[in-house]
Structure 1
Amino acid sequence: MTTMIQGDQLRTLLLGTRVDRATATLPQTATGSLFTVAGGRVLVTSIVGEVTVAVQNQANNTKLVATPTTGSVNDLSATVDVANLGVGGLLGATGLAGDALVKSTGGGVSNLRNPVVVAIGAIGLSCAASNTGSVKWSITYIPLDNGASVTAA
């Protein structure tokens, strides 16, 4: 008998465990937590946001950051202006801290070419302005330390 690998099983084999975060408004001139890393280090293999409520047309330089429980905040991407990003717009990161967060008006977006090791703490979204808009996020990861996990913040 042939056993077929289902889509979710293949995704898990290639990218690790997926965690989804419900849509939430953008942080207002602040950093808001998207995900919590606990129990040890994880290898982030993908992270993508999808706009569910359009972002207002006002400049808002936005980036992903890692805030460890021990140490200093580290950029996971450089900033991109998310002004006027419509419903269905996508955000992704390349995996290089110096590369801007990638945005698209929908249909497709680049994602991690370089998986990123993240320590215990938080993965967050830093916004330079106070804009309306809401984004839902998904992350995939592989635990590097036994007992490491990621949960939606």
Structure 2
Amino acid sequence: MTAIIQGSQLRTLLLGSTPVSKATGTLDEDVTPSLFTIAGGEVLITALWAKVTTAITVANTVTIQANPTTGDTATIVAGDLGTADTLAGTVIGWEPDSAAFTRNGPPAQAVVSTGTVEIDSAGTNVDGAMTVYCTWVPLTDGATLVAA
């Protein structure tokens, strides 16, 4: 008898949790909203990617960063998404061995500690919006990651 595992089971085996998502709202250079909240220790983000929901057309640097309760804020991935328009529907990943976004690139990975994962935009008249997705596994027993 052949045993076939379902797609959701394979995804859980390879990536951990069911994807958690958070919409950014309109990107704004004056605020740094939280995307995800980490509690109870360290987690491994096994996949982090975004899908643009409103075109990003103004030159600006978008940074996704880990902001731990204790320790330094660290960039997970960053890049200018507006110099060449990033249209709605575009999936954004990151370039391997780099901290730069790439359109339709592979998802980012990172270890993050208790605190938050945030999105920060810098530029003039920043525009656009996206939904950020994340799968994860706990590295510390009992650690969790939820949408902020």
**Shared fold by TM > 0.5?**
yes
Task: Name the TM-score, length of structure 2 as normaliser.
Answer: 0.86
Of the three residues 112, 127, 130, the one matched with 1:135 is 130
Q: Deviations over 1:54-107 (max 9, x none)?
A: 11x321011211000112211112x311112111122223575xx233231xxx
Q: 1:142 to 1:91 in 2, by over 3 A?
A: same
Q: Distance in 2 between matches of 1:140 and 1:76?
A: 14
SS, match of residue 52 in structure 1 = strand
RMSD of equivalent CA atoms: 1.9
- Residue-pair matches, total: 144
1:125 maps to which residue?
119
Q: Deviations over 1:14-61 (max 9, x none)?
A: 010121224522233432211111111101111000001111x32101
Identity of aligned residues (%): 38
Task: Name the TM-score, length of structure 1 as normaliser.
Answer: 0.84
Between stretches 19-28 and 45-54, larger displacement belongs to 19-28
Consecutive unaligned residues of structure 1, counting only runs of 5 or more, are: none
Of the three residues 107, 122, 128, the one matched with 1:111 is 107
Q: 1:94 to 1:148 in 2, by over 3 A?
A: farther
Q: 1:103 to 1:150 in 2, by over 3 A?
A: same
1:9 maps to which residue?
9
Consecutive unaligned residues of structure 2, counting only runs of 5 or more, are: none
Q: Distance in 1 between matches of 2:36 and 2:111?
A: 14
Amino acid at match of 2:139: L
SS, match of residue 25 in structure 2 = strand
SS, match of residue 12 in structure 1 = helix
Q: Distance in 2 between matches of 1:139 and 1:95?
A: 17
Does the CA contact (< 8 Å) of 1:51 and 1:90 recur in 2?
Answer: yes
1:40 maps to which residue?
41
